[in-house]
Structure 1
């Protein structure tokens, strides 16, 4: 996983100002296809291409695509599918203009995921789900994910970028270290006599994922705080592939993109599923959503074809979305940071499991969260009862006592459990573990 300091980010205000100074770029045209083959019946999809909201600067629409891969039953996947979007939007402050709304969206995603998890655990259902949740607003794509479903973007030039993180313990060393440093254990299933089999799992509970929604019976080290990435797409568009692990266990990102090259999305999604199943058989639910993001038709007719991307620009691409930690980040020294108008530009990236970092107080607009309202569940807090998300952090000396955002007592307890700040076995999140 790429840390925040390894590449440059572009302030949203810079991008919007650049657009306003040039010829207005119309919103892209979206088309999608979806397909799945069921083995357990625990994969669910969500597609809503006409979500509306009223902003301070007018009525706008956005599109939402979600994939929910349940385990140990369907309850968590169904509940998350039905409630996650409402919880994300509920966490958004009112009366924002469009650029403020987009800037606030990543943190609202965090609050929405954690609130959905908190509310579902009140039902006491012992199932869980991975989530890959995508919101497309104009040329800005925001992706939040927990678990091992993934979202990739393929540009029209054939470059592939990962917009989600894999929280499978087998391949995520950072998550393994987080769990063990918090007091949990990571290991394979012990069949007796010292023999260990299967993938790495978190104990207690034995889940092979480090992040999910639900899973109240597998201990406090499995968190619902999502990895969030927000990017601005090139004006030439591209293609999103959102798929469950049934696809990614069989196909690489390159293979998935290549097998449906040139196909419309309604044909591409079934083709990806077919190729994945042919490779290893139907061993798991195998589900895929493909979204084509294209320039509006009138732009294609009136505008000359975009110039090819310079090699230097492609190197900047790879530095920003590197596939291996060993990739060089020396491109940050380029003289012109934002000289390419037709490249993917990253606006936000955060993968930390800490709510104190994810609900940071440095918001782009004032009053991002009301002073006496819980930043996660949005319940009103009486003066003096709220607990700052920064409580107990090493930087508290730099913060004022009233620096928010604030959490209610229930969400503060959940925060401590998620971040391994409570002794193991304390509280209901560990009470049902073996």
Structure 2
């Protein structure tokens, strides 16, 4: 506790102004547009505005924008488009207020991504997909991503922020280290004679991504655990650009923002796609979604100031962290909405134990006898706590959750390289003959043992050179 002399007293008039400002805070207006040019027919989008969520005292709305870039077929992209939102929402309790719901979203997104991947892999399809998934509730934007599609934000003040991570092995050393430590191999495509071509890939399978949904034939160390970032926009709003790698292979983030500034979302999305195709030609599916988050239109508004221009290297260190609860002079002076983008949450670890940890603002989010991933009921005594492998054994208690069912625990261990998963199973029968003398008779016993192995596939048929 602060000494008495260090406590910041806030005048009642300021508190009343803050309360009044909060009461008058209105939800932003959203407008969106999308465009695309197809080469393989494996890019899919999901746009759902005005999704309703029931509160204890009413109904609130949120919007969802998703981009799914499939490879090795479109099955994974289609399945994820149809099921991911349902799986994410199924991991959030229904009795949360808005602040609790927003705080629960990052962990629910992790659970929803993993469940979608697990369910799709049970269909024994080898297709895979990248995912960039944005949920907008009021001024708060939450983005979860696996793969190499990208979501960027241009704030109303002219700054550019990355809200997704790039999981290409070529440019992500941390992911390369994770895969090799889990039992995979990273290298380029070998054409024979020692000649290597193309980007770094993960073997078996030959995927150049370290995270995706699907891809059951490339090993479980290609994980579906998403990078998640959550930010709060200023009351002036901003523009989101979500695009597949067909755009980002041709345009930088600055170029994408600059080429469409001042255009409507529809026109902006079309311009970004046209610019990308003009630079490199139509070599891959090229898809873009543009979302404008703006304050409600009011009469006699002053025109916004001209946007600031920035050079390269402006993407990191530009977020203002969520201010502490302690009062300060700036708290006294500023009682309106912030004029900067406020970072609320960021986490990119591939460890389920870290991402579903019980140390969380919503302590009762995962119930005692419900699997934190698949939401299936767990019989008492059969759940496996994520705390079971904690290094701090002195604080571990058997009833500390969240819990995983045995099936989801198997998937967790496979992703961590602790259990073989992937490849094609085969069965061997071993026969043993034993002659036993009993009651002066020679009896012959036949013993049969059955062993099931997994063939690690060194290559996967139909490698997608763009994935």
Q: TM-score, normalised by structure 1?
A: 0.87
Deviation, structure 1 residue 391:
2.4
The one-character-per-residue Cα deviations of 1:367-402 (angstroms, maximum 9, x if unpaired) are: 211100000000000011000123223234332221
RMSD: 2.9
Q: Which runs of 4+ in 1 moved over 4 A?
A: 17-21, 302-310, 315-318, 335-340, 423-432
- Of 56-65 and 252-261, more deviation after overlay is shown by 56-65
Deviation, structure 1 residue 22:
2.8
Cα separation, 2, equivalents of 1:357 and 1:58: 34
Q: Show the counterpart of 2:441.
A: none
Cα separation, 2, equivalents of 1:336 and 1:320: 22
Matched, 1:293 2:317: no
Q: Larger Rg: 1 or 2?
A: 2
Q: Show the counterpart of 2:88.
A: 88
Deviation, structure 1 residue 317:
8.4
Change (3 A) 1:430 1:275: farther
Q: Show the counterpart of 1:221.
A: 221
Q: Show the counterpart of 1:360.
A: 357
Deviation, structure 1 residue 57:
3.7
Contact 1:218–1:430, Cα closer than 8 Å, also in 2 = no
What stretches of structure 1 of length at least 5 have no aligned partner? Answer: 1-16, 323-328
Contact 2:67–2:243, Cα closer than 8 Å, also in 1 = yes
Deviation, structure 1 residue 366:
3.7
Change (3 A) 1:20 1:230: farther
Cα separation, 2, equivalents of 1:104 and 1:18: 29
Task: Number of aligned residue pairs: give it.
Answer: 404
SS of the residue corresponding to residue 73 of structure 2 reads coil
Deviation, structure 1 residue 321:
5.0
Cα separation, 1, equivalents of 2:39 and 2:404: 40
The one-character-per-residue Cα deviations of 1:126-167 (angstroms, maximum 9, x if unpaired) are: 100000000000000000000000000001222100000000
Q: Show the counterpart of 1:398.
A: 395
Deviation, structure 1 residue 25:
1.4
Change (3 A) 1:424 1:61: closer
SS of the residue corresponding to residue 362 of structure 1 reads coil
Matched, 1:342 2:329: no
Contact 1:131–1:146, Cα closer than 8 Å, also in 2 = yes
Matched, 1:124 2:124: yes
Cα separation, 1, equivalents of 2:390 and 2:204: 27
Change (3 A) 1:104 1:425: closer
What stretches of structure 2 of length at least 5 have no aligned partner? Answer: 1-15, 426-452, 459-467
Q: Show the counterpart of 1:201.
A: 201
Which structure dedicates a bigger proportion of its chain to helix?
1
SS of the residue corresponding to residue 41 of structure 1 reads coil
The one-character-per-residue Cα deviations of 1:41-67 (angstroms, maximum 9, x if unpaired) are: 000001001211102242001100000
